[in-house]
Amino acid sequence: MAVSGENADSAFECLKAVAQPVKSLHGVFFGHNAAAELEKMLRDSVGAGVEPPVAVEYTIRFICLLVEKNYFRYIDTLLPVIERKLDEQKGILSLSLEAASAVESGFEEELARTIREKTGSSNVKMKTSVKPELLGGYRLRIGGFYIDASLKGQLAKMKADLEAGI
């Protein structure tokens, strides 16, 4: 991220796009020779003798470095971390919302607006999923902060309270 500077977002999008095809290559794929071979393949796919865009250049170098150091196998772990760091730099707050049923877009917009106001973040990136096992309500995760306003969570708390009293 630091190396790619203002091209970080473009390089990240390029990395996401190129990582999947590279992952599909079979066989043992690490070390200097493998990285050099992969670099040649990637540069040939851009076009022989063509100067790749800056974001593509950073992506090729990063993927080849991961392959050389035998860290490419962790690409699925690295991508969310890189995305989170880029979002932090831009003041974007990522959160996940799990609801018992589909939520109305008005609720999502209101929740995002409220969270922006309370946290001072420039934007909110919300990942919404439906979890019928919650029975009702929702669960919200913002970084390490967790709110369980689900019926399932309330029932579990009541059960724990009753068991503690017995």
Query: Pairing between strand 123-130 and 92-99?
Result: parallel
From CA 41, how far away is CA 35, in angstroms rounded?
Answer: 10
Do 108 and 159 belong to one domain?
A: yes
Do 59 and 104 belong to one domain?
A: no
Do 77 and 116 belong to one domain?
A: no
Do 41 and 108 belong to one domain?
A: no
Question: What total number of domains does the chain contain?
Answer: 2
Do 75 and 103 belong to one domain?
A: no
Among 62, 85, 108, residue at a domain's last position: 85
Instruction: Indicate yes or no: pTM above 0.85.
Output: no
Which amino acid appears at position 17 of this protein? A
Closest CA to 55 of 2, 4, 92: 4
Among 31, 65, 85, residue at a domain's last position: 85
Do 106 and 40 belong to one domain?
A: no
Do 59 and 21 belong to one domain?
A: yes
Q: Look up the domain containing 50 and give its range.
A: 5-85
Among 85, 107, 140, residue at a domain's last position: 85
Do 49 and 76 belong to one domain?
A: yes
Do 9 and 78 belong to one domain?
A: yes
From first to last of the 166 residues of the chain, give the pLDDT tens digit. 677 778 888 889 999 998 888 888 766 577 888 888 888 888 888 776 667 788 888 999 999 999 999 898 899 999 988 988 888 888 888 899 999 999 888 888 998 999 889 888 888 999 999 999 999 999 999 878 899 999 999 999 999 999 998 7
